């Protein structure tokens, strides 16, 4: 810690107050304090009290001091508890005496957590209050709170989320929104008899998605390990073993760029359903999203923080990826179009071609370039190129295309669903192809997971699979950036951090 003399004034003074409390035999951090009820309960119980009433009811409450108005012989403070509920506390000379009033004024600062015991009353202005008979410091704050009335900078909110939660109502509601959505997702799965499983996050071989992994090292096993980029290959092993309907909600890690819609660690749902296919998965996905909207907002129409409304109700549009491309570029493009045709179209659109891109990648780039921004309402984009979907079954009718959809909401990808590839021989061919791409420098290519192939060779039932970003779901529901949906997004330490 910094030298006591070097501390900024306000930090030094609070440390001195803590020391002063100790030296007069007080306790700045007691093991417990009186508390008979919550601020919320008092507010609920005494909703309609008229002005200037004494109820005769004595309670002990706790809260953080967020406003303090010290007058000569009658002091006022606003206490706030975790959910944001506030209650006024009053300290009068004739109730607590000169010595205690002096302690209240001099030792208690904004930001301190206190316990107040007294009568529930309303003030002469009608404010519901607790009129103290006694009070006790519950925890001394050694740092000042930021100004309540000016918003914290974006960066401070993220770096000191605990402060953000104290001062900003939206921070509190966002923090509670996420668990509400989680609960809803689990209920939707549970009502359809899906089992929640937990599969490894530390993996010997990363796979299940196209992404660069984080690498780490196990001392005990003396081997490199990867943080998972997706749970897919383990969830499929579950289905081989007869856990026919499974889901997992947990973190994945991708060693890639971070921006307003990407975080290096992010929560994801993955689910697999034996005897389902990409259509049943689309239905399930819609149910998950609509149930979550209903659980959180009471409606399929969700209200974004900036006031915009988004209707997630009803049936959702389905468009074909290649039809959308064809319409956008004015000529017929299919899964069988040659790579040269696609390159020509891409160049015409001004897309910078990466020579490493395979055919399907170019088609996807064209799609993203032309169609994505129009997809505000929830839309399933059906039929992705087969060569970029190595774990997906070929379309039952349309050549060159896989039974894969992406769900777009608000112009970003929210979920993706498939009819899963279950032929272990074709799967091996696809993964060998991936391994070749990896060897030729594609850092996102999957490895050849022999154990997974071995599991598949035992017979995997026909099934549908789906993955959905939980952070993205919250973004779709609220319109917030990803860093607002995550309590503690990764931030670089600053040089001046104490």
Partner RNA sequence: GGGCCUUUAGCUCAGUCGGUAGAGCAACGGACUUUUAAUCCGUGGGUCGUCGGUUCGAUCCCGACAGGGCCCA
Query: Segment 7-46, which members bind RNA (CB under 7 A)?
Result: 8-11, 13, 17
Stretch touching RNA by CB under 7 A, among 91-99, 201-209, 400-408, 461-469: 91-99
Site string for RNA, 110-129 (x = CB under 7 A): x------------xxxxx-x
User: Which range binds RNA by CB under 7 A, 71-79, 179-187, 315-323, 358-366?
Assistant: 71-79
259 interacts with RNA by CB under 7 A: yes
For RNA, the closer of residues 128 and 312 by Cβ is: 128
Residue among 485, 81, 468 nearest 252 (CA): 468
Q: Does 191 bind RNA (CB under 7 A)?
A: no
**Using rule CB under 7 A, residue 298 touches RNA:** no
CB of 70 to RNA, least distance (A): 5
Query: Which two tokens mark 126?
Result: 């009608």
Query: In whole angstroms, what is the distance from residue 498 CA to residue 2 CA?
Result: 8
Identified binder of RNA from the candidate list 23, 32, 440, 494, rule CB under 7 A: 494
Please report how close the Cβ of residue 8 comes to RNA at its closest, in angstroms.
3
* By CB under 7 A, residue 176 contacts RNA: no
Interaction between residue 216 and RNA (CB under 7 A): no
Name which of 179 and 493 has its Cβ closer to RNA. 493
Residue 441 burial (C-beta neighbours within 10 Å; 0-12, 13-18, 19+) = exposed
Tokens 């000169």, residue? 98
Lookup: tokens for 130: 């607790």
Please say which residue, 17 or 404, places its beta carbon nearer to RNA.
17
Cβ proximity to RNA: between 10 and 190 the closer is 10
Binding segment for RNA (CB under 7 A), chosen from 63-71, 290-298, 301-309, 457-465, is 63-71
The one segment of 36-44, 105-113, 398-406, 453-461 that binds RNA by CB under 7 A: 105-113
Note whether 49 binds RNA by CB under 7 A.
no
67 binds RNA (CB under 7 A): yes
Taking the least distance from each CB to RNA, the nearer of 109 and 270 is 109
Q: Based on CB atoms, which residue is closest to RNA, 207 or 489?
A: 489
Q: How far is the CB of 7 from RNA (least distance, A)?
A: 9
Asked if 338 is part of the footprint of RNA (rule: CB under 7 A), the reply reads no
Residue among 35, 68, 300, 343 that touches RNA (CB under 7 A): 68
Q: CB-wise, 129 or 434, nearer to RNA?
A: 129
Hey, what long-range contacts does 367-371 have (CB within 8 A, 24 or more apart)?
367/321, 367/324, 367/325, 370/324, 370/325, 370/328, 370/329, 371/324, 371/325, 371/328
Least distance from RNA to the Cβ atom of residue 142, Å: 11
Beta bridge pairs of residue 267: 251
Rounded CA separation 435/446 (Å):
6
Residue 53 interacts with RNA (CB under 7 A): yes or no: no
Q: At closest approach, how far in Å is the CB of 143 from RNA?
A: 6
Among 25, 56, 242, 257, interactor with RNA by CB under 7 A: 257
Q: Which residues neighbour 130 within 8 Å (Cβ) at sequence distance 6 or greater?
A: 42, 59, 61, 87, 88, 89, 90, 116, 118, 119, 120, 121
Nearer to RNA by Cβ, of 72 and 298: the residue is 72
Check: CB of residue 129 under 8 Å from CB of residue 89: yes
Question: Is residue 73 involved in binding RNA (CB under 7 A)?
Answer: yes
Which of 43, 69, 436, 454 forms a contact with RNA (CB under 7 A)? 69
Q: Rule CB under 7 A: is residue 491 a binding residue for RNA?
A: yes
Which of 79, 78, 95, 86 has its CA nearest to residue 131?
A: 95
Q: Which of 154, 311, 368, 451 binds RNA (CB under 7 A)?
A: 154
Determine, following the binding rule CB under 7 A, whether residue 106 of this chain makes contact with RNA.
yes
* Per-residue contact string for residues 341-370; x = within reach of RNA by CB under 7 A: -----------x------------------
72 binds RNA (CB under 7 A): yes
| Least spacing, CB of residue 262 vs RNA, in Å | 9
Name the residues that contact RNA, by CB under 7 A.
8-11, 13, 17, 67-74, 76, 78, 88, 90, 92-94, 106, 109-110, 123-127, 129, 143-144, 146-156, 257, 259-260, 352, 483, 491-492, 494-496
């Amino acid at each position: 810690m910094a030298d006591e003399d070097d501390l900024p004034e306000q930090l030094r003074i609070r440390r001195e107050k803590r020391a002063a409390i100790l030296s007069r035999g007080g306790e700045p951090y007691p093991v417990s304090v009186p508390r008979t009820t919550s601020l919320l309960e008092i507010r609920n119980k005494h909703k309609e009290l008229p002005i200037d009433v004494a109820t005769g009811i004595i309670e002990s409450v706790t809260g953080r001091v967020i406003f303090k108005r010290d007058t000569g012989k009658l002091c006022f403070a606003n206490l706030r508890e975790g959910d944001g509920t506030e209650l006024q506390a009053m300290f009068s000379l004739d109730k607590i005496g000169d010595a205690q009033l002096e302690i209240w004024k001099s030792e208690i600062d904004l930001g301190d957590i206190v316990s107040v015991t007294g009568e529930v009353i309303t003030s002469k202005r009608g404010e519901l209050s607790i009129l103290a008979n006694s009070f006790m410091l519950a925890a001394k704050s050694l740092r000042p709170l930021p100004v309540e009335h000016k918003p914290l900078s974006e960066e401070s909110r993220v770096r000191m989320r605990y402060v953000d939660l104290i001062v900003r109502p939206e921070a509190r509601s966002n923090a509670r929104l996420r668990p509400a959505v989680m609960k809803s997702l689990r209920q939707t799965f549970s009502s359809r008899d899906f089992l929640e499983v937990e599969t490894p996050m530390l993996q010997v071989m990363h796979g299940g998605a196209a992404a660069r992994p984080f690498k780490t090292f196990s001392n005990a096993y003396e081997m490199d390990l990867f943080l998972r980029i997706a749970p897919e290959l383990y969830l499929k092993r579950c289905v081989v073993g007869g856990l026919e309907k499974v889901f997992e909600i947990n973190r994945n890690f991708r060693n890639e760029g971070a921006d307003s819609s990407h975080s290096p660690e992010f929560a994801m749902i993955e689910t697999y359903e034996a005897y389902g296919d990409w259509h049943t998965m689309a239905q399930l996905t819609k149910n998950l999203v609509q149930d979550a909207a209903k659980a959180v907002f009471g409606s399929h129409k969700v209200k974004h923080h900036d006031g915009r409304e988004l209707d997630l109700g009803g049936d959702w549009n389905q468009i074909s990826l290649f039809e959308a491309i064809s319409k956008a570029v004015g000529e017929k493009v299919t899964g069988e179009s040659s790579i040269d045709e696609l390159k020509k179209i891409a160049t015409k659109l001004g897309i910078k071609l990466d020579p490493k891109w395979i055919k399907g990648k170019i088609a996807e780039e064209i799609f993203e370039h032309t169609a994505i921004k129009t997809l505000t309402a929830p839309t399933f984009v059906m039929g992705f190129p087969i060569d970029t979907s190595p774990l997906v079954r070929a379309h039952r009718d349309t050549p060159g295309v896989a039974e894969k959809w992406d769900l777009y909401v608000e112009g970003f990808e929210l979920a993706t669903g498939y009819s899963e590839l279950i032929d272990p021989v074709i799967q091996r061919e696809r993964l060998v192809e991936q391994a070749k791409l990896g060897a030729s420098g594609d850092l996102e290519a999957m490895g050849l997971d022999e154990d997974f192939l071995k599991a598949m060779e035992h017979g995997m039932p026909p099934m549908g699979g789906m993955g959905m970003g939980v952070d993205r779901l919250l973004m779709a529901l609220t319109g917030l950036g990803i860093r607002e949906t995550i309590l503690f997004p990764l931030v670089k330490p600053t040089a001046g951090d104490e």
